[in-house]
């Protein structure tokens, strides 16, 4: 076995959350930070590929996310200014669903609580304004003009470049952590599949599908499930250009829950399903797009009913959600100096810029970030609601 490498702070998983935290710490000059990733981010083996992610502010998953989303948007704008890259496209986001849908009601409640601009429209009015949609009066639209699209992979590239240039943060790729250990003198050791050993005073674990098995090594059981998710790009006419068609979420009692994007940079109209999916064990190989008949059929049924200018299928892809039982994040410090950030349940990326800051500050100061209370494990033990 090779000699051990010591750092003040160790981040396991250099994906969305890990690189965001590393980038924040690179900017603060915090002494020695070591990041370990099993692959070479950005890559397509986790949850951060597929070109685009939505950012919404009037939050259908709960008002408590709104301050975090607002901070995240500030930080995305900051990253754009600092790098000179186009990372956020202000396409607006249209949340569509039955007026009675809890998600739509919560979008409106979040907007009211935080005084966020939101236009509420009947289905036929939505279709007049955005002819890419064909909707009847049962559907309501809640449009948020400030929301939009994040270029996820480009963002990870920016963070990676800044981390690579920094003097205090080291990213080691191809470093798959297989075991953790608490050290008698305090701190933690991480063992990699290739025999490398890293030690640190404080540890942040944001290793997607491996958060749960790595914590189990330390006797901490996390209720997280890995789910295979599919999405695809289609030909589309001019109605789906970013200036004519906002990003969207669509909640339907019969069809399910979907999200999608305008045709950005000629990539095609993109749509994915948010609910359902196939449960996989950590490490289990994921079947390619098309392995299940529903991969294509469930996307096509929404297109056939509601999206008249979307044409031929171009290509599809698979990705993974790491779901918690209530689909809220799981962020906690279950052992002193060991912070865990996982269970992002398919809606975490928009917050990564703000979470990177909070998690980075938590690592550096040793003090729990107050904005993250409520995401803790305690709620699964029945004593805190998110």
Ligand X SMILES: Cc1cc2nc3c(=O)[nH]c(=O)nc-3n(C[C@H](O)[C@H](O)[C@H](O)COP(=O)(O)OP(=O)(O)OC[C@H]3O[C@@H](n4cnc5c(N)ncnc54)[C@H](O)[C@@H]3O)c2cc1C
Interface positions, 207-266, toward ligand X (CB under 6 A): 207-208, 210, 229, 231, 259
Residue 350 appears among annotated catalytic residues: yes
CB of 112 to ligand X, least distance (A): 22
Binding span for ligand X by CB under 6 A among 30-38, 90-98, 180-188, 331-339 = 30-38
CB nearer to ligand X: give 127 or 156: 156
H/E run at residue 233: strand 225-236
How many Cα atoms occupy the beta-carbon half-sphere of 163 within 13 Å? Answer: 30
CB nearer to ligand X: give 127 or 359: 359
Distance of CA 367 to the CA centre of its chain: 24
Residue 52 appears among annotated catalytic residues: yes
Q: How far apart are CA 332 and CA 380, in angstroms?
A: 12
Q: Angle 332-336-338 (CA atoms, 0-180°, nearest 5)?
A: 55
Q: Are strands 148-151 and 88-89 parallel, antiparallel or unpaired?
A: antiparallel
**Candidates 6, 39, 49, 154; catalytic one:** 49
CB nearer to ligand X: give 145 or 317: 317
Residue 158 appears among annotated catalytic residues: no
Query: Facing residues of 225 across strands?
Result: 323
CB nearer to ligand X: give 9 or 53: 53
Composition of the chain by helix, strand, coil, percent to 5 = 30, 30, 40
Q: How far apart are CA 212 and CA 224, in angstroms?
A: 7
User: By the 8 A CB rule, do 200 and 188 touch?
Assistant: yes
CB of 13 to ligand X, least distance (A): 3
Binding span for ligand X by CB under 6 A among 25-33, 107-115, 136-144, 169-177 = 169-177
CB of 382 to ligand X, least distance (A): 25
- Smallest CA-to-CA distance from 213 within 284, 277, 276 is with 284
**Candidates 9, 48, 53, 75; catalytic one:** 53
In total, the chain counts a number of residues equal to: 386
Count, residues near ligand X per rule CB under 6 A = 40
User: By the 8 A CB rule, do 52 and 150 touch?
Assistant: yes
350 binds ligand X (CB under 6 A): yes
CB of 105 to ligand X, least distance (A): 20
Residue 49 appears among annotated catalytic residues: yes
| Token pair listed for 38 | 């099993």
**Candidates 151, 274, 328, 379; catalytic one:** 274
**Candidates 228, 230, 319, 347; catalytic one:** 319
CB of 7 to ligand X, least distance (A): 15
CB nearer to ligand X: give 101 or 152: 152
CB of 73 to ligand X, least distance (A): 12
CB nearer to ligand X: give 18 or 132: 18
User: Could you give phi then psi for residue 158, rounded to 5 degrees?
Assistant: -60, -50
Q: How far apart are CA 152 and CA 257, in angstroms?
A: 21
148 binds ligand X (CB under 6 A): no
89 binds ligand X (CB under 6 A): no
Binding span for ligand X by CB under 6 A among 98-106, 173-181, 295-303, 359-367 = 173-181
Interface positions, 264-283, toward ligand X (CB under 6 A): 272
Torsion region of 337: left, alpha or beta (phi above 0 gives left; psi -120 to 50 gives alpha)? left
User: By the 8 A CB rule, do 172 and 37 touch?
Assistant: yes
Q: What is the largest CA-CA distance in the chain?
A: 67
Residue 199 appears among annotated catalytic residues: no
Interface positions, 32-71, toward ligand X (CB under 6 A): 36-39, 41, 45-48, 50, 53-54
CB of 186 to ligand X, least distance (A): 22
CB of 320 to ligand X, least distance (A): 6
Residue 347 appears among annotated catalytic residues: no
Distances 284 to 63, 91, 220, 228, 287 between C-alpha atoms, Å: 35, 36, 21, 10, 10
User: Could you give phi then psi for residue 339, rounded to 5 degrees?
Assistant: -105, 135
For binding to ligand X (CB under 6 A), which residues are involved? 12-18, 36-39, 41, 45-48, 50, 53-54, 175-177, 206-208, 210, 229, 231, 259, 272, 319-321, 342, 344, 346-350
Active site residues: 49, 52-53, 270, 274, 319, 350
């Amino acid at each position: 076995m090779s000699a051990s490498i010591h750092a003040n702070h160790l981040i396991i998983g250099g994906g969305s959350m890990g690189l965001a935290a590393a980038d924040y710490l690179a900017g603060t000059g915090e002494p020695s930070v070591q990041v370990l990733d099993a692959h070479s981010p950005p890559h397509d083996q986790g949850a951060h590929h597929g070109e685009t992610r939505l950012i919404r502010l009037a939050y259908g998953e709960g008002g408590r996310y709104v301050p975090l989303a607002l901070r995240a948007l500030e930080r995305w704008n900051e990253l754009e200014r600092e790098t000179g890259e186009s990372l956020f496209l202000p396409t607006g986001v249209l949340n569509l669903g039955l007026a009675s849908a809890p998600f739509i009601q919560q979008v409106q409640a979040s907007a009211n609580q935080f005084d966020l601009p939101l236009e509420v429209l009947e289905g036929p009015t939505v279709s007049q304004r955005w002819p890419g949609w064909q909707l009847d009066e049962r559907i309501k639209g809640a449009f948020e003009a400030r929301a939009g699209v994040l270029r996820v992979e480009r963002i990870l590239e920016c963070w990676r470049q800044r981390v690579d240039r920094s003097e205090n943060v080291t990213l080691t790729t191809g470093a798959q952590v297989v075991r953790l250990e608490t050290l008698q003198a305090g701190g933690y050791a991480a063992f990699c599949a290739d025999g490398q050993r890293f030690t640190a005073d404080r540890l942040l674990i944001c290793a997607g599908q491996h958060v749960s098995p790595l914590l189990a090594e330390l006797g901490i059981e996390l209720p997280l499930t890995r789910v295979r998710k599919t999405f695809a790009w289609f030909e589309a006419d001019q109605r789906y250009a970013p200036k004519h068609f906002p990003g969207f979420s669509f909640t339907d009692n019969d069809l399910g829950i979907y999200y999608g994007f305008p045709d950005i940079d000629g990539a095609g109209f993109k749509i994915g399903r948010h609910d359902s999916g196939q449960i996989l064990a950590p490490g289990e190989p994921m079947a390619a797009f098309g392995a299940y008949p529903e991969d294509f059929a469930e996307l096509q049924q929404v297109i056939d009913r509601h999206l008249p200018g979307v044409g031929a299928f171009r290509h599809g892809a698979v990705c993974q959600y790491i779901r918690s039982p209530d689909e809220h994040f799981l962020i906690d410090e279950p052992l002193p100096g060991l912070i865990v950030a996982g269970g992002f349940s398919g809606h975490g990326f928009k917050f990564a810029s703000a979470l990177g800051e909070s998690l980075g500050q938590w690592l550096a100061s040793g003090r729990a970030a107050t904005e993250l209370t409520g995401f803790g494990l305690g709620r699964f033990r029945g004593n805190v609601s998110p």
